[in-house]
Structure 1
């Protein structure tokens, strides 16, 4: 960039701040290693934030595993050297435990069949405790809790519809909540709990929602919209985005893993990434009175054609006329307008009889007199 002509011609190249930045980037030997270090730490976390704050699907069933994969990726980025990655993981775990980690995350991870039926899956104490805490909070009666505990055995084995061939084939293809809706009918209480948990969404409001539909709809210029209308706009745009994303993936024939780090771009476009707004920035289109306001004064202003001046001109073997049609705006009533138009028509017809034109090209304005 600093070697380009655009930079040399820009005003920043002549200012002291621009010169200092150029010297740092081109001359400081510590600058690029520091940038590389930051990218190794941040890129896996940014991908998790995109998952959490995106609109692809409810992220509750994936956030738990996504955080584990992000930490593993950070370790690999530093070649498993503890003294390099441990300070970074300590910061992540502190934030995760104090502000982000909840029993719902562990329960959703346990109920997500994509992970539960994986051969490498092992349910540890934290995930089990999270599941039973969610059962106690979301199920009001003791009878319902006991039924869920008994039905849990069918899910673990699996038995019934859980073990059918179609259920096995669609474990990694259907969204978890939709899978439970299809194959959990024989465990009604457990099915209801799983659908409720897996349908929950996550939020990254503490990290600014740069990719959410609501953020584009509810801008500063549209912050006076009624809540019902805002919800409707978000609903429509959300579903449009889902449909377009799914169509694009089907056309490419891709199998998409929403939390697989290798399926996401590894460059740093997120630094300058900015999506196009889902709606126009102009707010007047939402105001019905502004859009459909009728000007009563304009109703009495009629458009009237004045007399035409026909000047014939020869060109090659045909006569061509130049038509000048001065238009003026006059205010007339309905009866007066009809009388004036009749008089103009008679005048034009009289002129046509007096003039002897042969092979004249009258143009489109004279189609009414053919």
Structure 2
């Protein structure tokens, strides 16, 4: 639910200012109705979150997981320390991204070259802001999708005819596009970052996934390792300098963003105590056997409860984690593996009312603040000179009245809106985008039709 927007233009965003605004909203909706405050990872936001926690110990500040993952990608894509081992290992990535940006700009900034490209491809180049999450991945994914069109374009007679304005750059572009080794680097980069990108997409919603984040991080890191080791043709026990560099970045970012709140939510997922889940991955532990998770979980319990109530909740958790009294029925054990955690607690949590109440709160929590940020992008698409309410495009056509869809990972594919948002669609759904552009051309609504 969107509650309020505040214009902070010209105001210094100090920790005190941010905390003041947060606390005012918390008081308005009632502190008892607030479970967590999610912000990006900026120092002032972190400090503001601590102020909120000091006033309301039961409210946790949590950093946005999507921002955290994006910072990790930035470290991989643009290492700045020339003397550092990271720069040595990741330099080729910066070069590939730089080459792709140069190729895109060279074609898009010349009307004739852009026209030549459009003749070969139904997909368009993407103008992606650097501030967008995973911008390098999105750009290179599009390059793979339009590879054939680029290859045909640079070997055509027209390309040779219209290269006179900058023959050196034209030759550079052609050499890269016809170079199989360059494309191999692009594919390798996309391959080992795909688990990171997939996690960004899964977390970048207002869907409840806080209880999944701990596992998602571990699984994502293992998948990255698998891709890199397979590419380098190494056994898992061998050392990979490149993977070590990637691993250090990912673990560092996760360590900085991991909070007791994540650990408590992880601990309340009944699936994570089943033999099937534990045996799925070597050396995996149930939450109550993990020292770090247990310490952080107990920290949370002490913030939520005290005295006799704390003792009662600890006993309830012990029964829950050890399949004790109230949690040892056949149905309870069977349902842990496949039932949604929130539903499981609703059915089987009656013997632990205090823990059940806490579980139902945490298992319904998102983990990203970026879903709130889309209020601004959606507003900008609707209320702008491009979407004037008096224009014909607003009153008719495929985006009439602009039906905005639900903000979930599956929304575009489960009928979340009558029409897909073109701004989101063009990021990584080329097949759907191609069909959309064909429909627009049939209606005479594309730039070429003008």
TM-score by length of 1: 0.54
Instruction: Summarize deviations over 1:207-260 as a string: whole Å, max 9, x none.
Output: xx69x975764445359xxxxxxxxx999835996797499xxxxxxxxxxxxx
Distance 1:188 1:25 in 2: 63
Instruction: Summarize deviations over 1:79-123 as a string: whole Å, max 9, x none.
Output: 23422211001111122222x211111121121111122352333
2:195 alignment counterpart = 44
C-alpha deviation, 1:164, in angstroms: 2.2
2:320 alignment counterpart = 155
Runs of 4+ in 1 over 6 A off after TM superposition: 9-13, 233-236, 239-244
1:132 alignment counterpart = 298
State whether structure 2 residue 256 is matched by structure 1 residue 83. Answer: no
1:315 alignment counterpart = none
State whether structure 2 residue 304 is matched by structure 1 residue 143. Answer: no
2:185 alignment counterpart = 34
2:263–2:297: 8 Å Cα contact kept in structure 1? Answer: yes
Aligned CA distance change for structure 1 residues 27 and 5 (closer, same or farther; 3 Å): closer
Aligned CA distance change for structure 1 residues 241 and 67 (closer, same or farther; 3 Å): closer
State whether structure 2 residue 279 is matched by structure 1 residue 114. Answer: no
Distance 1:106 1:70 in 2: 17
Structure 2: gaps spanning 5 or more residues? 1-147, 230-235, 279-284, 385-401, 417-424, 434-450
- For residue 62 of structure 1, the aligned residue among 201, 207, 212 is 212
1:172 alignment counterpart = 337
Aligned CA distance change for structure 1 residues 175 and 246 (closer, same or farther; 3 Å): farther
Structure holding more strand per residue: 1
Aligned CA distance change for structure 1 residues 83 and 193 (closer, same or farther; 3 Å): same
1:229 alignment counterpart = none
Distance 2:196 2:308 in 1: 41
Instruction: Summarize deviations over 1:107-150 as a string: whole Å, max 9, x none.
Output: 211211111223523331111012111112233x3222111011
2:274–2:337: 8 Å Cα contact kept in structure 1? Answer: no
1:214–1:234: 8 Å Cα contact kept in structure 2? Answer: no
**Which structure carries more relative contact order (alpha carbon 8 Å, separation 6+)?**
2
Q: 1:162 aligns to what SS in structure 2?
A: coil
Q: 1:87 aligns to what SS in structure 2?
A: helix
1:362 alignment counterpart = none
Distance 1:13 1:131 in 2: 68
Q: 1:74 aligns to what SS in structure 2?
A: helix
1:96 alignment counterpart = 254
Aligned CA distance change for structure 1 residues 243 and 71 (closer, same or farther; 3 Å): closer
1:237 alignment counterpart = 406
2:203–2:209: 8 Å Cα contact kept in structure 1? Answer: yes
Q: 1:62 aligns to what SS in structure 2?
A: helix
Distance 2:208 2:324 in 1: 27
Distance 1:271 1:240 in 2: 14
C-alpha deviation, 1:8, in angstroms: 3.8
User: How many residue pairs align between the two structures?
Assistant: 238
- For residue 382 of structure 2, the aligned residue among 210, 218, 221 is 221
2:228–2:243: 8 Å Cα contact kept in structure 1? Answer: yes
Q: 1:173 aligns to what SS in structure 2?
A: coil
Higher CA-based Rg: 1
1:104–1:131: 8 Å Cα contact kept in structure 2? Answer: yes
- For residue 71 of structure 1, the aligned residue among 202, 221, 230 is 221
* RMSD (Å), alpha carbons: 3.9
1:41–1:88: 8 Å Cα contact kept in structure 2? Answer: no
Distance 1:60 1:193 in 2: 14
Q: 1:78 aligns to what SS in structure 2?
A: helix
- For residue 272 of structure 1, the aligned residue among 417, 428, 437 is 428
